[in-house]
Amino acid sequence: MALLVPASSVLSALVALMVFRASAWACLLCFTSYNERLQICQIFAGLESPDLGKCEEAFTDAFKGLLDTEINYDERGHLHDAFTQMTHFLQEMATAQGLQEVARRFRCRGCYSTVCDLPLDCPVKDVTVTRGQQAMFSCTVNFQLPKEEITYSWKFAGGIRTQDLSYFREIPRAQGYLARIRPVQPTHGGTFSCVITHDQRPLARLYFFLNDQES
């Protein structure tokens, strides 16, 4: 007879899986699709990486220890929600790393790829401009960007020097790598952020703290 465990124990095991990468839970195949598991592996290993197979094997092997585990039927909804949160967490965690695909290199000796893990968030750059003059921000980086599907979006956090995304608000109709403010007014003081994305994946976030001075 299979072992019956409460869903709360299974949920606790999920945390162990994400944090310690230990064998944690069963029901992986019940509550995640092949495409979801493949997408997570592609995010971490690369679309055509030779490590894709290893990633898929590791993903399923982590759950083999409890294949015979059973839970109460009425708790399956909570477990399904937890698996959904897990897949979203892994996707967000990979995205937050800001892996630049153009920095990926394939090594002929050994037949494997490597990724240069450049930082997603660049340091805040201080910009001081005399009130009434023009401020200009250039959203450029020191690594090669893909030639297609590059987009720039701008945000603003008024009156604060920060990299905390919760403070930022979208700037409507702000596009392109170059931003100008003319003339600079006291209300423009704060941090401007430019996000460079490729195919909806962030490559870099730049920050500019605008400090206006009276003439």
Residue 183 lies in a domain: yes
One domain for residues 140 and 76: no
- Structure confidence at residue 19 (pLDDT): 36
> What percentage of the chain carries pLDDT values higher than 90?
27
Residue 111 lies in a domain: no
Which contacts of 93-101 are long-range, i.e. CB under 8 A and separated by 24 or more positions?
A: 94/40, 94/43, 94/44, 95/43, 95/201, 95/202, 96/120, 98/202, 98/203, 98/204, 98/205, 100/143, 100/203, 100/204, 101/46, 101/146, 101/198
List the domain range (segments joined by +) for residue 86.
7-96
One domain for residues 77 and 125: no
| CA 98 vs CA 15, 41, 133, 176, 182: distances in Å | 23, 15, 35, 20, 32
One domain for residues 167 and 87: no
User: Can you give the CATH number for the domain in which 158 is found?
Assistant: 2.60.40.10
- The phi, psi pair for 153, rounded to 5°, reads -130, 145
> What percentage of the chain carries pLDDT values higher than 70?
48
Residue 12 lies in a domain: yes
Q: Categorize the per-residue pLDDT at 165 as very low, low, confident or very high, splitting at 50, 70 and 90.
A: confident
pTM for this model (two decimals): 0.49
Residue 116 lies in a domain: no
- Structure confidence at residue 40 (pLDDT): 67
One domain for residues 191 and 125: yes
Give the model confidence (pLDDT) of 91-102 as tens digits: 555 544 444 555
One domain for residues 205 and 138: yes
One domain for residues 139 and 203: yes
How many domains, in total, are found in the chain? 2
123: DSSP letter: E
One domain for residues 11 and 80: yes
One domain for residues 141 and 209: yes
Of residues 165 and 85, more confidence is placed in 165
Output the average pLDDT for the chain.
71
One domain for residues 73 and 22: yes
Q: Categorize the per-residue pLDDT at 138 as very low, low, confident or very high, splitting at 50, 70 and 90.
A: very high
Residue 26 lies in a domain: yes
What is the helix (H) or strand (E) element at residue 114, kind and residue range?
A: strand 112-114
Residue 57 lies in a domain: yes
Q: Categorize the per-residue pLDDT at 14 as very low, low, confident or very high, splitting at 50, 70 and 90.
A: very low
Residue 137 lies in a domain: yes
One domain for residues 60 and 139: no
- Of 70, 63, 62, nearest to 5 (Cα)? 70
- Asked whether residue 130 carries a pLDDT value surpassing 70, the answer given is yes
- Structure confidence at residue 149 (pLDDT): 83
One domain for residues 90 and 144: no
Cα atoms in the Cβ-side hemisphere of radius 13 Å centred on 120: 15
- Asked whether residue 204 carries a pLDDT value surpassing 70, the answer given is yes
What is the helix (H) or strand (E) element at residue 205, kind and residue range?
A: strand 201-213
How far apart CA 40 and CA 19 sit, in angstroms, is 16
Give the residues across from 117 on adjacent strands.
Answer: none
Asked if the bond preceding 6 is cis, omega within 30° of 0, the reply is no
Residue 60 lies in a domain: yes
One domain for residues 190 and 152: yes
Longest dimension (CA), the chain: 82
Average pLDDT over residues 105-133: 71
- Structure confidence at residue 8 (pLDDT): 39
Least confident among 3-12, 157-166, 172-181: 3-12
**What is the number of H-type helices and E-type strands within the chain?**
5, 9
- The phi, psi pair for 208, rounded to 5°, reads -130, 120
